[in-house]
Amino acid sequence: MVLAAEAAVWILRPRGTVIDPSPVAAGDYFTPSQIDRGAAYANGQLILFGAGVGAQAAVLLVVALGRPGALRRHLERLGDRPIRGAALAGASLSVALAVVALPASVAAHGRSVDYGVSTQELGSWLADAGKSTAIEAVLAGGGAALLIALVRRFPRRWWLPGALAAILLSAIFAWLAPVVLAPLFNRFTPLPPSDPARADVVELGRRAGIEISDVYRVDASRRGRALNAYVAGLGPTKRVVLYDNLLRNADRPELRSVVAHELAHVKHDDVPRGLLFVALVAPLGLVFVRELAVALARHGGVDPASPAALPAYALALGLASFALMIPGDQLSRRVEASADTFALRITEDPRGLIELQRRLIASNVGDPDPPGWVTAILGTHPPAVDRIGAAVAYERREASKLGGAGEGSGSVPGAG
């Protein structure tokens, strides 16, 4: 499974030239207090994330092995109507896991408020968490019913149609999420043609050879101070989304840098690239799930084709997802580095990218240079020091082309 994922990374990695970052020191661009504060915040959130995931894994393992007895008997009774029972069991299990992780999630939210990242009151945050839990329960119930139906129909080869279903569902989710799910949590407002930010998006799109149709502002400020932008959707639902915090607080060079980066994802078809990654890793991923889940279910005295086996399948799926996340993040970092290179080329403004990274670290309370193992396992983007290093390398290279090699070296002032 992991080898297939690494092969997928090699196949799908961007083929264009990615600028190798010049070595830079975080202290040249961030104050000591920013570095220490970002590291402290990131480390604490990572511990809480691990605590929540660990609690969920422990619950799944205990239930998968047939304990406690009352829950085991309840799951076995659902086997009288296996498909309907699987839907109920899947939804219930999803809610239970959300509740188990809730203390760690509440603590993480409290820390984000203390550090000034979030401005959302606990009641509002709990309302959002409740909506997310409800949506996840519906999806888990449908997925569990489909899984048990496939296992009962194809006891040994269910992973084949299961992989096809995973690919189709991923595509449907990517297509519909921007217009169905995202509006449940935020308000999206189309930017009018007269808006200067939209004019920048259209102009950069023209330079990149991309036709821009939909550009939206999202009311991210109702929850926090983070600056961000993203591209979402497929076909008619594809859109560029800018945080209102970004539009309000970023200078024009920084805004152009982040917009150019997001347009790179459109130009490079990075959403379809992600779906292709799912297509390549899903088959062997589900073979792994089958083998581990069947072993766990039989060890607990459970029929692998019954709703009572769902905790075993959920645990196996969680382990597979974690193992596949590492090569998936490896591909993501390469994709994001490619988007930075694209942004540098169409904006021709390395200082804009550098100042953007400095502002992002300050507003999001990020760690500009996290430990290598954290980046390798959880990093979907290159660290800020690498992204700044890429801008410095671009600046030096362009200065060299103009016959002034070295004039751009170190010309961007540090935080001090």
pLDDT computed for residue 117 by the predictor: 93
Mean pLDDT over all residues of the chain?
90
The better pLDDT of the pair 72, 50 is held by 50
Closest C-alpha among 151, 139, 134 to residue 83: 151
The better pLDDT of the pair 294, 238 is held by 294
Of 66-70, 265-269, 405-409, the one with minimum mean pLDDT is 405-409
pLDDT computed for residue 58 by the predictor: 94
H helix count then E strand count, the chain: 14, 4
Closest C-alpha among 113, 106, 115, 108 to residue 36: 115
Of 123-127, 132-136, 265-269, 369-373, the one with minimum mean pLDDT is 265-269
The C-alpha torsion from 300 through 303 and 304 to 306, rounded to 10°, is -120
pLDDT computed for residue 70 by the predictor: 61
Over residues 338-367, the pLDDT tens digits come to: 999 999 999 999 999 999 999 999 999 999
Over residues 187-237, the pLDDT tens digits come to: 999 988 888 888 888 888 888 888 877 889 999 998 888 888 888 888 777
Indicate whether 54 pLDDT > 60.
yes
Q: Average pLDDT in the 91-110 region?
A: 96
Calpha distance 134→345 (Å, rounded) = 44
Q: What confidence tier does 401 reach under pLDDT thresholds 50, 70, 90?
A: confident
Over residues 276-299, the pLDDT tens digits come to: 999 999 999 999 999 999 999 998
pLDDT computed for residue 78 by the predictor: 73
Q: What confidence tier does 405 reach under pLDDT thresholds 50, 70, 90?
A: very low
Q: Average pLDDT in the 313-339 region?
A: 96
pTM of the model: 0.89
Radius of gyration (Cα) for the chain, nearest Å? 23
pLDDT computed for residue 68 by the predictor: 64
> What SS3 class is residue 59?
helix
Q: What confidence tier does 406 reach under pLDDT thresholds 50, 70, 90?
A: very low
The better pLDDT of the pair 55, 67 is held by 55
Q: Average pLDDT in the 35-41 region?
A: 96
Q: Average pLDDT in the 164-191 region?
A: 92
Q: What confidence tier does 71 reach under pLDDT thresholds 50, 70, 90?
A: low
Estimate the crossing angle of helix 384-401 against helix 310-347, to 10 degrees: 30
Which residue, chain included where needed, has tokens 């000034």? 116
Residue 368 near residue 385 (C-beta atoms within 8 A): yes
The better pLDDT of the pair 345, 409 is held by 345
Calpha distance 369→25 (Å, rounded) = 9
Indicate whether 409 pLDDT > 60.
no
Q: What confidence tier does 72 reach under pLDDT thresholds 50, 70, 90?
A: low
Q: Average pLDDT in the 391-402 region?
A: 90
The token duo for 108 is 């993480």
pLDDT computed for residue 194 by the predictor: 84
Closest C-alpha among 175, 238, 232 to residue 211: 238
Which residue, chain included where needed, has tokens 């904006």? 347
Indicate whether 314 pLDDT > 70.
yes
Under DSSP, the state recorded for 241 is E
Contacts of 297-306 with CB under 8 Å at 24 or more apart are: 297/64, 299/65, 300/64, 300/65, 300/66, 300/72, 301/66, 302/66, 302/72, 302/76, 303/79, 304/151, 304/155, 305/82, 305/148, 305/151, 305/152, 305/155, 306/75, 306/76, 306/78, 306/79, 306/82, 306/148
Of 5-19, 225-239, 361-375, the one with minimum mean pLDDT is 225-239
The distance of Cα 410 from the centroid of its chain, to the nearest Å, equals: 33
The token duo for 351 is 């200082």
Which residue, chain included where needed, has tokens 């709703």? 307
Calpha distance 40→50 (Å, rounded) = 15
% the chain with pLDDT above 90: 70
